Every structure is written in structure tokens, then in C-alpha cells.
Amino acid sequence: MIKSLTRLFLGTTILSSVMLPAQSLFKDIVPGPNPASSNPEQYKNVGSDMFFLARVPSGSLKNNQLWKSDGTPSGTVKVKDSLHVSNLSGLIILAGDLNGELLYFSRSTASSSSPFQLWKSNGTKAGTVMLKQLGPNPLGTAGEPKNYTFVGNKMYFTAADGAGRELWVTDGTISGTTMVVDLATGNIAPGIPYSGVLNAPMVAYNGKVYFAGSTTGSDEELYASDGTVSGTTLVYQYPGIPGCAPDNFKVWNNELYFGGNSSTGNSHHLFKTDGTTTTQLTTTVNVGSPIVFKNELFFIGGNDLWKTDGTAGGTQLITTGIANSGYAGANNDYFFTKYNTGFFRTDGTAAGTSSANSDLGASASFNVINNIMYKTHYDFGSTTMVGLWKSDGTTSGTVKIHYGTATGFEHVYNNKVYFAEYDAMNGLELWSFDPAATTGIVEKVYASHLTVYPNPTTGILHVQSDLSPDAEFEVCDVLGNTLLKQKHLKTIDLSHYAKGIYFIRVKDYEKSSTKRVIVE
């Protein structure tokens, strides 16, 4: 059952690692110990392949390389070398899949103020070609391409046009890559605000792209475009400052919902539009983070959870004081919403809303496979101990299944989870987790933190640790399920457990150690 057992001697610290088949090193792109690392990042599923960026050491610099994978180590190959050789980050931006090819952006030089170029790749070196260099970029980082939105066989995005930020479109050809319209004509201020992904500043709806736009560089209103100047029109305008400022777009039941300012106040209320008629649904709620769950539309209002059926009368409060930072993800039964440093789970009812595992507090986003959510994040209070977690939406079903160091964000491809992981023997490389395989946890033990004896044991296990008196101990099985959680632990009676392998973990705010135990 155990795939490998390794023991590393690092100075006075002993690091022991038991790796079960579920999660393992997928591809050692740059063989050798750290700093021989590939630093994989920016995964994008394109056609039947997964593309990613590798930042490989090249002397004192990083060589940005484009790679792809078919889900096998032998089929994980380099597509194009030396996109840039520089330590400057943000030189390459992978955008997504257009008609089975990868679109990505690359700076023309290794300078933060250089213009970006749009490239496409079919997964071969010869088929990786530049489509167009965008206009001059006096805005630096604020001029980088963002907001990639796919509508039919076109990708819309925003980027610097030589002055402000404006709307662009590409169909994957040189002639079909153009700036759509210069809304803020002759104005260094942007026609499109510089905004990220979380508040959904652009969205595909009914064959068009909808976005926040401005003719003055401020006071953004709701616009729609079909990719032409004449087909770019104002949809909704709030007659005043600071404009409608639409965001938090969500398409549901063939209507577009969004948050925006209105004549009843400057806070973001809930609106909906069919592209012609726009209706305001709330007058007192500050709207954020809409999510469609079980064919209902939920959203955050202040620190509270709300839902709507698309009418003002059918917009109602579910429960108070559980949400202020958006949603982490959903399976078929629950979705998670963040409140300060913790998480709540809800089935969309007040009775079905409760506090979830507090370890989810330092969250990224969830990915879902077969109704189980997977994510990576730091342990609470730690800046180094990161791992892979899974959750079925319950407290007991939220467990850490991989104890790692510097674990990167997770990505799902072909029903497997991929992530960057560091170990001293291989550096920072590409790892994978297969939910269909036998699951388990990786053991990393620092001898100065945790000692257990006798091991193997037939029953009573003695535990010693130099961590704080408030350190928390856990007993986990090889599936990663927590069987016991207790503080101030000195002995554990394992006589009632089935024979086999277990893991004893101790953690406090700064450190975490795990020890493998055999019950005979």
C-alpha cells in the first residue's frame, strides 16, 4: 500500500516522509535538489491538454518556459523555451482556450512598462506565434491585459491602448485582433477600470460582452458590445456621481444580475437586466459575491446572506452575520462563505447554515471533483506549512490530505488535482493528486517537535512534544480522516483501533509535525 518511504537528514532535524499513491511528484522538470526547480504556475486547460508556465533557474535569473501536459509524465513536454529570461514577475500571462488553442500575453521586453504582445499556441513550437503587439503601455502594471471573457469564437479583454485602458477583441487571427472602441477618447484616464477577476468586471451574456465602461475615465456605467464600434452601447446609466459602477455580474435564468449604484443611495444595490430593461431589486442592501446554487441566486448583503427569485418581493434575507468576503466554492450539498478568518457552510437555508472547519480560514478557491472540494492554503498562523485539503461540506469531512511546504494553488485537469510542491530532494516541482486512487497523507516529522513510543504499538502510545502547552494533537487514518482531536495529550489508547497505519499530528500557531504509527 505504501508507495515509498524516505528519510532525510537535514542538520539536526530528521524529516521522515511516507508517500501513499494518491499524491506524489508528477514530473521533476528540473532534476536535482533545490534550487533546481521548475516553479510551475498559471495552469490552463486547453482542448485535451493542460498548459502551464515554468520559471526555470538560469544563472541568477528565471527562464520563463511554456509547457503542456496530456496527464502523463512522459506527455508533459516543453512547448517553447525562453519566452523571457528575467526575474521580473508578470512577464507572461496565460489567458485561456480559444478554439482549441492557448492564448497568452507576453511583454515585448523584460520591462514593466513595455507593451504586451498577444500570442497563440497549438501546443507545438512551430505553432506558437505572435498575433499582435498591443499599443504603447505608459501605465506599467496598470496597463496589463485583464478580464479575459470568451463569447462564441472570440475573446474579449482590456488593455492599454497607448493612453488609458480600453476594450479589445480577438478571434485568434492577426486581422481579427483589434481594439473595439476608445470610450474615453483622447483621455489618459481609462475607458475600462483596472479591476480584477473576483468582482466579475466583464461577463458573456446573450452573445455579447457586458462591462463597466466610461467616456470620461470615471463614473462607470453598464455597457455591452458585440465587438464593433456601432455594436457597443450604453445599457444602464445612473444619473450622478460616481455612476452606476456595475460589478459582481452573474447570469441566471437568461438574465444578467449585477451590483450597482442607484438613486436610492450610492451603495451597491442588486439589479437585473435583459439587455433592454434594467430593474432594481434592492434599496438597502450592499450587494456582493452572487452565486447560483440549486437553481437559486444567493448573494452577500453587508455581512448577511440573501437570495432572490428575480423579483423585489422575492429577494429575502436568509441569515445574518456569516459572510463578508465572498464565496469559496460549492458542491451539490453546500457552499462555503467566508466571514473574517473563518468559514460557514450553508445549504441555502437558515437552519442549514453553520460554522465549518476553522482551518479553512486562510483560503484560496475551491475546485470540485465528484462532489468533493479540494484546495491548498497555509495552516493557521503559519507562513510555511501549506497543504492540500478536501471537504465534503461537513466539519468532520474537511481534512488535510497532504502536508507540504510552499504548496501552490491547486488546479483540476482530467479529474486530478495538480499543484506545485517543494521538497529538498526535488525543489519546487509539479505534483498531482488522484481522488480515484488510495488516499493518504504525507508525513513530515521534525524530531525536535514530536516523539511517539513505542512504535509499533499494541495499544498505549506515549507522546512527547516541545511545542506550546496549547498545541493540538490529532490522530488520522490513511484516508486523512480525523479520528481524535485533543489538547494536552500525553498518552493515546489505540487498542480499540484496527491494525494498520495511523498518523499522529501535533500543531500550534507556528509549527506542525506528523508521525507515522503502526498499530499491531
pTM: 0.79
Q: How far apart are CA 513 and CA 208, in angstroms?
A: 52
Q: Where are the beta strands (DSSP E) in 37-187?
A: 41-46, 49-58, 61-69, 77-85, 92-98, 101-107, 116-121, 128-133, 146-151, 154-160, 165-170, 178-181
Cβ atoms within 10 A of the Cβ of 81, count?
14
Tens-digit pLDDT profile for the chain (520 aa)? 223 323 222 222 333 333 334 668 899 999 988 889 999 999 999 999 999 999 999 999 999 999 999 999 999 999 999 999 998 888 999 999 999 999 999 998 888 778 899 999 999 999 999 999 987 776 666 678 889 999 999 999 998 877 678 899 999 999 999 999 988 887 666 778 766 444 457 999 999 999 999 888 778 899 999 999 999 999 998 876 678 889 889 999 999 999 988 776 557 899 999 999 999 999 888 888 889 999 999 998 888 899 999 999 999 999 998 877 777 778 888 888 877 666 788 899 999 988 776 655 545 557 888 888 888 776 555 555 577 888 887 777 877 787 777 788 889 999 999 999 888 788 899 999 988 875 454 444 333 456 777 888 888 888 876 666 567 778 887 666 778 887 767 788 888 888 877 878 776 544 567 777 888 8
Asked, as a colleague might, if the bond just before 115 is cis with ω within 30 of 0, I would say no
User: How would you classify the pairing of strands 13-19 and 327-330?
Assistant: unpaired
Give the CATH number of domain 1-18+449-520. 2.60.40.10
Q: How far apart are CA 490 and CA 473, in angstroms?
A: 10
Domain boundary assignment for the chain: 1-18+449-520
Beta pairing partners, 155:
150, 170
- For residue 366, give Cα distances in angstroms to 139, 331, 362, 401, 430: 33, 10, 12, 15, 19
